[in-house]
Structure 1
Amino acid sequence: MKQILWIGGVRYELREIYGIGQSEGSFDDKDSGKECVICMTEPNNTTVIPCNHMCLCSECAKAVIQELMEIKINTNDR
Structure 2
Amino acid sequence: MFAPTSSDLVAEERKGISGFAGSNLDQLLRARGIRHVAVADFVTEVCVESTIRDAFDRGYHCTLLSDCTAAHSNQD
TM-score (norm 1): 0.22
Between Structure 1 and Structure 2, whose CA radius of gyration is higher?
A: 1
Greater relative CO (CA pairs within 8 A, separation 6+): 2
- Which is richer in helix? 2
TM-score (norm 2): 0.23
